[in-house]
Amino acid sequence: MDIGIAADFNLSDFVAAHEGKDQLRLITCGSVDDGKSTLLGRLLWETQMVADDQITALGSASRRHGTQGDAMDLALLVDGLAAEREQGITIDVAYRFFTTDKRRFIVADTPGHAQYTRNMATGASTADLAILLVDARTGATPQTRRHALIAASLRVRHAVVVINKMDLVEWSEARTREISESARALCDGLGFESVVVIPLSALDGENVVHRGGSCGWYTGPTLLEHLETVPVLPARPSPFRMAVQWVNRPDPSFRGLAGEVSGSPVRVGDSVTILPAGQTAKIARILGQDGDVAVAHAGTAVTLLLDRPVDVSRGDVLADPAQLAQVGRAISARLLWYGDTPGAVGDRFLLKLGTRTVTAKITSLVGRVSLDTLEIEPATTLAPNDTGDVVLTLERPIAYDLYSESRSMGGFVLIDPETFDTVALGLVQAAARVPVAPSDSHTRSLAKAVSYRALGSIATATIAWAYTGNLGASLAIGGVDAVSKMAIYFVHERLWDRISFGKAKHP
């Protein structure tokens, strides 16, 4: 098969022919050895996206590390790390590009091993569609369910359940129906917009790009046919945001705010609000890569100059004044926990959202998501690869959006302050209240006064008896001391409760 690049290949013509197509970002995920890399390699091979030098390198790698005898091992097209080829597993996220006459694709091949689940979440964070591979012999595993949960939590909209290795179960229609029913129940419960089940053999290529003759009972689309036709609607427009990465001051007359635009475009003359401070100014200039521009779109790195001096520093957020981000010191969040040490109430971390890093503490652990029922169950800790809901309290206010409204301003990471390892991926679900210690009621103040003075008066009477030897006089001294000082203590407590000096300030 000659899949090499032609001698008269023109890059400009190639780009022009494909730039008008829409684009689908997808992820392949599932358990170890379910065939994710082989499936992606088959897609690249069948869509003729393998260059001559890659074919030569693939042949050499197949002879050294291949698992298919003398045949080409297509999984090695994406298992690029030496450790991956030696172990026969995917470790890192491999991003690949391919295109057809109908659509462009960016696909992330992610690891299936539980140890590398965090890498799978990285790939899912930008995907529109998840290909969930299931081995036809074993069906869905706990890791399959975990990957489906993570993909749904990260707002991946479409799911394709691929029942792979159908050749090893003789293309059994009954086995396909059994796996399909359980997979649909799982995906429907997680809220994917669409769920499609496709039986195939990535090794042989049947039902990947072309139909095979082994399953005449299957009338649905091939995998590529579905990928080319699944709706790719633009995301719901989100308000303008720009997290300030750097304040650029080459000289006293220039103060530029550098960062990447997200959400709606921003134009010269637009008003922006700087959060969390809340000051407002207008955009005087927008500097792009090649100089001044009139408008900056999402994904563009720019430097903004404001029309007046405003105190802005790294980590602040520029936002649309008509649709402000939320600002607060406490958030309810879903955590995808990857730390080696379990997370528990009271643990402190560094929280990084956008370009802002603040100290955060877990003040409440709502519960853990059960992989069996997908419901929240009680838990005291979050173990590695657990998904759970918590309340976090921050040392100072930050600007944020809900993850359901903005991936860029609603997602964060938690970092161990000692090792600087990333221990969790977080998704903001709602604002929360900062816990405030309740003040004493009148009844509590009175009870404290009675108990304190009772102990004090007993001590006074005992000391008087030791000195005088007169029990009656000692009891009288203790009684007078109890009544007088109890009244003084009560008045003292109520007065201090009215004084604001030294009290912690809470929003």
Average pLDDT over residues 179-185: 93
| pLDDT confidence of residue 17 | 58
Kindly tell me if the per-residue pLDDT of 169 is higher than 90. yes
Instruction: Note the helical H segments in 382-441.
Output: 407-410
Bridge partner residues of 107 (DSSP)? 26, 96
Average pLDDT over residues 201-224: 89
Three-state secondary structure call for residue 386: coil
| pLDDT confidence of residue 96 | 83
Rounded distance, CA 289 to CA 503, Å? 50
Q: Percent of the chain at pLDDT above 90?
A: 53
- Torsion-angle region of residue 33: left (phi > 0), alpha (psi -120 to 50) or beta? left
Instruction: Note the helical H segments in 338-469.
Output: 407-410, 442-468
Kindly tell me if the per-residue pLDDT of 386 is higher than 90. yes
Instruction: Note the helical H segments in 259-411.
Output: 407-410
- Which pLDDT tens digit goes with each residue over 315-343? 999 999 999 999 999 999 999 999 989 99
Here the contacts of 374-379 (C-beta below 8 Å, separation 24 or greater) are: 374/149, 374/186, 374/189, 374/190
The amino acid present at 431, given as its one-letter code, is A
Peptide bond into 199 cis (omega under 30): no
Average pLDDT, the chain: 84
**Alpha carbon 40 to chain centroid distance?**
24
Q: Which two tokens stand for residue 13?
A: 């013509």
The amino acid present at 307, given as its one-letter code, is D
Q: Is 21 exposed, middle or buried (0-12, 13-18, 19+ CB in 10 A)?
A: middle
The region of weakest confidence among 7-16, 168-177, 419-428 is: 7-16
Cβ neighbours for 487, distance < 8 A, ≥ 6 positions apart? none
At 493, the pLDDT band (50, 70, 90 cuts) reads confident
Mean pLDDT comparison of 36-40, 152-156, 494-498, highest-scoring range: 152-156
Give, in degrees to the nearest 5, the angle at Cα 385 between 380 and 386.
35
Kindly tell me if the per-residue pLDDT of 89 is higher than 50. no
| pLDDT confidence of residue 490 | 74
Average pLDDT over residues 347-359: 96
Question: Pick the residue with more confidence: 464 or 268?
Answer: 268
- Which pLDDT tens digit goes with each residue over 365-385? 999 999 888 899 999 999 999
Question: Pick the residue with more confidence: 504 or 172?
Answer: 172
- CA 304 to each of CA 355, 374, 454: distance values in angstroms, whole numbers, following the listed order: 16, 45, 68
| pLDDT confidence of residue 85 | 37
The amino acid present at 86, given as its one-letter code, is E
Strands 422-431 and 381-382: unpaired
Global pTM reads 0.75
| pLDDT confidence of residue 20 | 65
Helix count and strand count (H, E) for the chain: 11, 24
Cβ neighbours for 209, distance < 8 A, ≥ 6 positions apart? 42, 43, 46, 47, 222, 223, 224
| pLDDT confidence of residue 267 | 96
Burial 282-312 (b: 16+ CB within 10 A, else e): ebebbbeeeeebeebebebebbbbbeeeeeb
Strands 129-135 and 158-164: parallel
The region of weakest confidence among 73-77, 208-212, 243-247 is: 73-77
Rounded distance, CA 473 to CA 450, Å? 22
| pLDDT confidence of residue 47 | 77
Cβ neighbours for 353, distance < 8 A, ≥ 6 positions apart? 398, 400, 409, 411, 412, 428
| pLDDT confidence of residue 52 | 46
Kindly tell me if the per-residue pLDDT of 18 is higher than 70. no
DSSP 170: T
- The count of other CB atoms within 10 Å of the CB of residue 121 is 22
| pLDDT confidence of residue 136 | 94
Bridge partner residues of 104 (DSSP)? 23, 99
- CA 67 to each of CA 61, 83, 87, 89, 410: distance values in angstroms, whole numbers, following the listed order: 10, 15, 11, 12, 42
| pLDDT confidence of residue 90 | 42
| pLDDT confidence of residue 455 | 80
Average pLDDT over residues 223-237: 85
Rounded distance, CA 374 to CA 189, Å? 8
- Which pLDDT tens digit goes with each residue over 250-265? 888 899 999 999 999 9
Q: Which two tokens stand for residue 220?
A: 């649905």
| pLDDT confidence of residue 129 | 95
The amino acid present at 59, given as its one-letter code, is G
- Which pLDDT tens digit goes with each residue over 109-150? 887 677 778 888 888 888 999 999 999 999 998 889 999 999
Kindly tell me if the per-residue pLDDT of 82 is higher than 50. no
Q: Which two tokens stand for residue 106?
A: 């960016």
At 3, the pLDDT band (50, 70, 90 cuts) reads very low
At 48, the pLDDT band (50, 70, 90 cuts) reads low
| pLDDT confidence of residue 122 | 85
Cβ neighbours for 202, distance < 8 A, ≥ 6 positions apart? 35, 38, 39, 42, 74, 164, 165, 208
The region of weakest confidence among 85-99, 325-339, 382-396 is: 85-99
Q: Judge whether 356 and 318 are in contact, CB under 8 Å.
A: no
- CA 109 to each of CA 64, 95, 163: distance values in angstroms, whole numbers, following the listed order: 22, 6, 17
DSSP 206: B
Q: Where are the beta strands (DSSP E) in 172-217?
A: 194-199
Kindly tell me if the per-residue pLDDT of 75 is higher than 70. no
Q: Is 332 exposed, middle or buried (0-12, 13-18, 19+ CB in 10 A)?
A: middle
* Residue corresponding to tokens 């059960």: 370
Total number of residues shown for the chain: 507
